[in-house]
Amino acid sequence: MNYLTKKELSWFKTLSEKNAISGQENEVAAFLKRHFEAKNLPMITDALGSIFAVKKSKNPDALKVMIMGHMDEIGFIVSKIEDNGMLRLLPIGGINPLTLTSQRMRVKTTQKTYVIGAIDATPPHLLGAGSPPIPRVEDVYLDVGLSAKKAVLEAGIQLGAMVTFDAPFQTLAGGQRILGKAFDNRYSLVMGLSILDALENKDLPYDLYVGASVQEEVGLRGAQTMTHRIQPDFAIVLDCSPARDSSGKPDELGQLGQGVLLRYLDRSMVARPTLLAYQEKMAKRARVPYQYFDSPGGTDAGAVHKSNAGVMTLTHCIVARSIHSPSTILDTYDFFASKKTLLTMLKDFSLARFEQLQREDR
Ligand SMILES: [Zn+2]
């Protein structure tokens, strides 16, 4: 059984197959802009390319609530073209080089089209004695089928060209889990659009900003500029974190299908216990599961909560297996549980709730 609406499933497929490494997010930004326009919502942007829709309340002095995802995905850029037409790469964001060998890749040309290629692999009989060394991203060769540097340049491939995994979206057996690339963090974009749909005819007692930053994967850069632009009072950061449950051990943190994460600690932020308790209460009220989680990674919340004079910030994440790879697996029930909790929170939130959270926090 699939826990997504038809619209959400189609957004997941479309957005997963779009290409948007950090700094080259235009395709995803255009998609968001089109959808925000179709909802007749005003938009707010920063000079780096982050984009948010604004749903204003009737109160002119309303609090500002910001729901932030990120548009960018990990990937590569072309850093060298060898005389024999092979491309060399640099990583954009965190890449495990073991995910590279023999992968099909897409390279964006200056005509904004894509050329398919594959990362060079060594067959076992040429490996020699001992374990093969783990390559660095900088060591691999990407072969796009052209046999000379001149032909590569004529095909519109330049240094700095975007390279992403060529990874089609699929629904897996049973229908509940989906496979594809960049669910970190297209999860947040599908969630943002879905939330705006759900709240379309509801008057909220606060101004709601829903959208996505750019350049999260290279250091939370868009989050910094966009938070400065919006100046939120309360921020909710959406992201997709690594599951650690493949071994089947129930005590590993980050279990697929077990609901939204109460993320008490990561590299970028220490969560406020008051806000975690609020999130837990909302998940209970929504009657969906939730799980405690910590991570050596980080999210945009790392930049958001330190902005201005500090922003009350909560993360609202789910896990997926094999993130930062071409073959990420996400459970649609986690999306559903996360959405129900978030909507419950957004319907509960008000100036009185904000002031109560502030009091309890001191
Ligand atoms: Zn992310």
* Res. 231: pLDDT tops 80: yes
147 lies in a domain?
A: yes
pLDDT band (50, 70, 90) for residue 123:
confident
pLDDT at position 128 is 78
Q: Which of 222, 175, 166 is nearest to 22 (CA)?
A: 222
Q: Which residues surround ligand 1, an ion (CB under 5 A)?
A: 184-185, 239
pLDDT at position 1 is 84
Average pLDDT over residues 125-131: 78
pLDDT at position 58 is 93
Residue with tokens 């400065």: 228
Among left, alpha and beta (phi > 0; psi -120 to 50; other), residue 216 is: alpha
174 lies in a domain?
A: no
Taking the C-alpha atoms of residue 113 and residue 208, their distance in angstroms, rounded to an integer, is 36
The token duo for 235 is 């921020």
End-to-end alpha carbon distance in the chain: 44
Indicate whether 148 and 195 sit together in one domain: no
171 lies in a domain?
A: no
Indicate whether 152 and 283 sit together in one domain: no
* Res. 96: pLDDT tops 80: yes
Indicate whether 201 and 313 sit together in one domain: yes
Indicate whether 229 and 325 sit together in one domain: yes
Query: Would you give the DSSP letter of residue 156?
Result: T
* pLDDT tens column, 312-359: 999 999 999 999 999 999 999 999 999 999 999 999 999 999 999 999
300: CA distance to ligand 1 center in Å? 8
* pLDDT tens column, 284-318: 999 999 999 999 999 999 999 999 999 999 999 99
217: CA distance to ligand 1 center in Å? 7
Indicate whether 52 and 84 sit together in one domain: no
244: CA distance to ligand 1 center in Å? 16
Number of domains in the chain: 2
- The rounded mean pLDDT for the chain is 96
Indicate whether 243 and 188 sit together in one domain: yes
Average pLDDT over residues 225-246: 97
pLDDT at position 125 is 84
pLDDT band (50, 70, 90) for residue 185:
very high
Indicate whether 107 and 228 sit together in one domain: no
Indicate whether 190 and 294 sit together in one domain: yes
For the question of residue 216 being annotated catalytic, the response is yes
pLDDT band (50, 70, 90) for residue 129:
confident
From the candidates 216, 217, 252, 355, which is the catalytic residue? 216
Indicate whether 238 and 315 sit together in one domain: yes
* pLDDT tens column, 61-91: 999 999 999 999 999 999 999 999 999 999 9
145: CA distance to ligand 1 center in Å? 32
280 lies in a domain?
A: yes
297: CA distance to ligand 1 center in Å? 9
Taking the C-alpha atoms of residue 261 and residue 276, their distance in angstroms, rounded to an integer, is 10
pLDDT at position 271 is 96
Indicate whether 156 and 258 sit together in one domain: no
Indicate whether 33 and 47 sit together in one domain: yes
* pLDDT tens column, 7-56: 999 999 999 999 999 999 999 999 999 999 999 999 999 999 999 999 99
CATH of the domain at 335: 3.40.630.10
Which domain covers residue 229, as residue numbers?
A: 6-73+181-361
Indicate whether 275 and 222 sit together in one domain: yes
276: CA distance to ligand 1 center in Å? 20
pLDDT at position 246 is 92
189 lies in a domain?
A: yes
